[in-house]
Amino acid sequence: MTLVTLSDVLQPALRDGYAVAGLVTLGWEDMRAYVAAAEAENVPVILQAGPSCRAHTPLPILGAMFRQLADSASVPVVAHLDHGYTVEDCKIALDCGFTSVMYDGSSKPLSQNIDETAGIAEMAHAAGASCEGEIGFVGYAGGAASNGTDPNEAAKFAAETGVDAMAISVGNVHLQQNKDGQLDSKRIAEIEALTQVPLVIHGGSGVPMDQRTVLARTTHICKFNIGTELRMAFGAALRKAVNDDPDRFDRLQILSETHAPLVDATRLVLRGLKG
């Protein structure tokens, strides 16, 4: 069994100069492809259940799916709750066998975010799991605007919450379909000068691959969340499978043709974060 915590995979990354991918899952097909890609590249992988995934599939089922994949994987696998918005979200995830939870209090006042995140970090640690928090707000393409992370607030947040990883807002945006964004290297340097906690980039799909590689090797950024980029690859493969044979109706036959293209796309992502 290779189920591990977030801290288990991020501390070596921080020490040795690479990053681990937090891959946003929506169902069995992408989870399975992500683990296959990680095995092919011989790197750890973080399987993430975000709000959209949880709205479709209950947390107990997702926890069982993640653990089943980890049981047979040859590389470390983290079962991670992404964007938990309540204590109850995080508690249910821990009860269902998740090894890591991300509490998102980023839209709340700093003191409230610190207090709530600290409580969830304590709960996660008592369960033998890890906790990720967020300071500053990462916006959404076509939606809410970002609020960049203040380095001094980040230092206070890291010190007072006891989180194992800290998501920051440094020019990254959720759901970005292109790679036109560039992260603010100056702000990243200011944050890492004041903290030692592994840093996390949400909205990693919008970050150019070459910048991901440089930041993974030269900064405290140890985790890039990737969702949109791989959903687009899955969607393209699914569309091709359907269009190639319009008379086909068996979804298992159709979905089977998404596996190899998604593995290939995921391997490119993972390769770019290696040390």
Q: In the predicted model, is pLDDT for residue 150 greater than 80?
A: yes
Q: Residue 48 pairs with which residues in a beta bridge?
A: 24, 80
pLDDT digits (tens, 9 = 90+) for 167-224: 998 877 766 666 666 788 999 999 999 999 999 999 888 898 999 999 999 999 999 9
Tokens of 47: 């399987």
Render pLDDT for 49-85 as a digit per residue (tens, 0 to 9).
999 999 999 999 999 999 999 999 999 999 999 999 9
Is the model's pLDDT at 228 over the cut of 70?
yes
Range of weakest confidence among 5-14, 93-102, 152-161, 164-173: 164-173
Report whether 167 contacts 200 (CB < 8 A): yes
- Contact between 129 and 159 under an 8 Å Cβ cutoff? The reply is no
Q: What percent of the chain has pLDDT over 70?
A: 93
Q: Of 8, 16, 82, 180, which residue is the catalytic one?
A: 82
Q: In angstroms, rounded to a whole number, what is the distance separating the alpha carbons of residues 105 and 135?
A: 8
Tell whether the model's pLDDT for residue 143 goes beyond 80.
no
What lies within 8 Å, CB to CB, of 236 at 6+ separation is 261
Beta bridge partners of 261: none
DSSP 184: -
Concatenated DSSP letters for 36-90? HHHHHHT--EEEEE-HHHHHHS-HHHHHHHHHHHHHH-SS-EEEEEEEE-SHHHH
Pair 9, 43: CB distance under 8 Å:
no
Count of Cβ atoms closer than 10 Å to residue 88 Cβ: 9
Q: Determine whether 82 is an active site residue.
A: yes
Confidence of residue 31 (pLDDT cuts 50, 70, 90): very high
Average pLDDT, the chain: 93
Q: State percent of the chain over pLDDT 90.
A: 84
Q: In the CATH scheme, what is the code of domain 3-271?
A: 3.20.20.70
Burial track 39-60 (b if 16+ CB lie within 10 A, e otherwise): bebebbbbbbbbeebbeebebe
The whole-angstrom separation of Cα 109 and Cα 112 is 5
Residue-range domain boundaries for the chain:
3-271
In 194-222, which positions are buried (b, 16+ CB within 10 angstroms) versus exposed (e)?
Answer: ebebbbbbbbbbbbeeeebbebbeebbbb
- Residue 12 makes CB contacts below 8 A (sequence gap 6+) with none
